[in-house]
């Protein structure tokens, strides 16, 4: 019985705490809701997307998009402002599904946010269709790096939150089955 309890506790620790802490090294937040999946930008105009990162340590931001109406040679210009250290100004070719990544490695202040400005330099009215990620969320993603301590904290918080929300009857039944397996 003792052997089984030790195996069970070790597995639970590895699975519930150690593994997520080791593997979750970046946290992703999304800044656009599904109603804004298509962004229309008139010639010469700008489109501003405000991003409020959940963590202060922004690693990079990504826009996953496609625009079938544009020729490969045309470009949108994206700038990033309101940030202590300037994120490198980027431009990108438009064509097939693609993504744009802003490497940033900056620490934001407690209530700081930043915005992306997308400019359409062509004389045509153009649209960007934001692609959805695996969870069907339109993707302007803000990715923040986590330290091991932050990751552990995030894991513990997630587990506590889950324990509060899940079906308590099933949780109890599950523990009961595990206990029976240990005792028998």
Partner 1 sequence: MARTKNIILLALLIRLSVIPFLYHPDLKTQYFHTQFLSKGVTNIYKYVYDNKPSLPYKDTFNYTPVVYYLQGIWFPVAKFLSPPNLTSWLNNWGPNQNNYANLPWFILTLKIPYLVFDIGLGLYLLKRYKKNIAYLWLFNPITIYALYFHANYDIIPATLCFISIDLFLNTKKARLAGILFSLAVGIKLFPLLFLAIFIKQDKNKIINFSIASVSTLVLLFLFSNLFSPGWLLALTSSGLIQKIFELKFNNIPIFPVLWIITTIFFILKKQFKPYDYLSLTGLLFLSTITYHGQWIVWFLPFFLFTYSSANKYHKFLLIILILSFISRIILYNDVYMTWGHFLPLNTQLLNQSTPFEILSKKTTLSLEVLQNNIKYIQLIFLFIITFFYAKKNNNTN
Residues in touch with partner 1 (CB under 8 A): 3-4, 7-8, 11-12, 15-16, 19-20, 23-28, 34, 133-137, 141, 143, 154-155, 158-159, 162, 165-167, 169-170, 174, 177-178, 181-182, 184
Cβ of residue 57: shortest distance to partner 1, in angstroms?
Answer: 15
Strand partners, 145: 26
Phi, psi at 107, each rounded to 5°:
-105, 125
Nearer to partner 1, 56 or 157 (CB): 157
Q: How far is the CB of 23 from partner 1 (least distance, A)?
A: 5
Name the residue nearer to partner 1 (CB basis): 73 or 136: 136
Shortest CB 11 distance to partner 1, Å: 5
Closest distance to partner 1 from the beta carbon of 39 (Å):
18
Which residue, 84 or 159, has its beta carbon nearer to partner 1? 159
Place of tokens 């409020």: 52
Contact 61, 104 (CB under 8 A): yes
Burial class (CB in 10 A: 0-12, 13-18, 19+), 95: middle
Q: How far apart are CA 104 and CA 3, in angstroms?
A: 49
Longest dimension (CA), the chain: 76
Distance separating alpha carbons of residues 152 and 78, to the nearest angstrom = 35
- Residue with Cβ nearer partner 1 (124 or 166): 166
DSSP 133: -
């Amino acid at each position: 019985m003792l052997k089984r309890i030790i195996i069970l506790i070790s597995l639970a620790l590895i699975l519930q705490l150690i593994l997520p802490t080791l593997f979750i090294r970046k946290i992703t937040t999304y800044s656009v809701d599904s109603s804004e999946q298509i962004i229309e930008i008139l010639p010469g105009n700008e489109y501003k997307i405000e991003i409020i990162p959940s963590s202060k340590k922004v690693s990079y931001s990504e826009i996953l998009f496609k625009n079938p109406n544009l020729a490969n040679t045309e470009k949108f210009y994206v700038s990033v402002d309101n940030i202590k250290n300037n994120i490198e100004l980027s431009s990108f070719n438009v064509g097939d599904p693609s993504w744009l990544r802003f490497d940033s490695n900056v620490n934001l202040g407690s209530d700081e946010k930043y915005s992306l400005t997308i400019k359409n330099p062509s004389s045509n009215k153009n649209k960007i269709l934001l692609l959805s990620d695996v969870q069907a969320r339109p993707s302007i993603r803000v990715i923040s790096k986590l330290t091991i301590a932050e990751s552990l904290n995030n894991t513990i918080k997630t587990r506590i939150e889950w324990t509060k929300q899940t079906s308590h009857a099933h949780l109890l039944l599950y523990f009961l089955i595990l206990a029976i397996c240990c005792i028998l």
